Amino acid sequence: MVSRLTSEDEIAKMRTAGRLAASVLEMIGEHIRPGITTVELNDLCHRMIEDELDCVPAPLNYTNGPGQPPFPKAVCTSVNHVVCHGIPSDKKVLKNGDALNIDVTVIKDGFHGDTSKMYFAGKPTVLAERLVKVTQECLYRGIEVVRAGARLGDIGHAIQTHAEANHFSVVREFCGHGIGRTFHDEPQVVHYGQPGTGMVLEEGMTFTIEPMINAGKRDVKILPDRWTVVTKDHKLSAQWEHTLLVTSTGAEVLTRREEESFG
């Protein structure tokens, strides 16, 4: 079933969930520094989500199905060569120059807001800074082509061409997804492809775009914990994510942070 909002009340609730998710990313940035552990960052986010925002952290105890262990923390923290779904740990201490993605999904009044952002602990390397910048540009280029009547392939093509023009690669095993009352729904929004192909976008659809871009080859593997995804060549990876609402003229970015402007 394709995730689609059909009433003003549903749209309002998705806007609220999106804004609250964005506020967690706005809060956590000042705490990211060399010496802090990823579980400390998780705990700060967890407390804000539950105690201040009166939301549920969607990742906590989430499972993809039979044989998949429940995700044990409130947010995902993916450091350096971790592509996505990094599990916060008291053993993972951030070092100077580390690149970190924090992925937040909150549930408010039954609706999900899902977003992620890249951060640096201390001073990044030139490569990390460039990869993170290009990956954010990939997200924005994908957003720019969203409108009723466009196709999913248009999004993937915009992302892929920008990443590859900068000599980076696009992860293909993981993608954006429909979202609303359900965390992961149709459509699947892949970050590569050909323009004019794939599902036609319709007004009211809600989904994420979340390109994962690698500094080296696109190949990834899943660690024995059944969650953590890493690059096979151990080179850097970056990801940015927003939740969008398709409109007749473009996309409303439901998880827009105060630092961002669209349109």
Sequential pLDDT tens for the chain (263 residues): 788 888 999 999 999 999 999 999 999 999 999 999 999 999 999 999 999 999 999 999 999 888 889 999 999 999 999 999 999 999 999 999 999 999 999 999 999 999 999 999 999 999 999 999 999 999 999 999 999 999 999 999 999 999 999 999 999 999 999 999 999 999 999 999 999 999 999 999 999 999 999 999 999 999 999 999 999 999 999 999 999 999 989 999 999 999 998 75
pLDDT the model gives residue 263: 58
Q: Parallel, antiparallel, or unpaired for β 242-246 and 82-84?
A: unpaired
Burial of 234 (0-12, 13-18, 19+ CB in 10 A): exposed
d(CA 128, CA 122): 12
d(CA 80, CA 97): 9
Q: What is the DSSP string of 150-189?
A: -BHHHHHHHHHHHHHHTT-EE--S--EEE-SSSSSEEEEE
**Nearest residue to 94 (alpha-carbon basis) of 176, 155, 28:** 28
Q: What is the DSSP string of 83-140?
A: EE-PPP-TT-B--TT-EEEEEEEEEETTEEEEEEEEEESSSPPHHHHHHHHHHHHHHH
Peptide bond between residue 66 and the one before it cis (omega within 30 degrees of 0): no
Which class is 8-253 in CATH? alpha beta
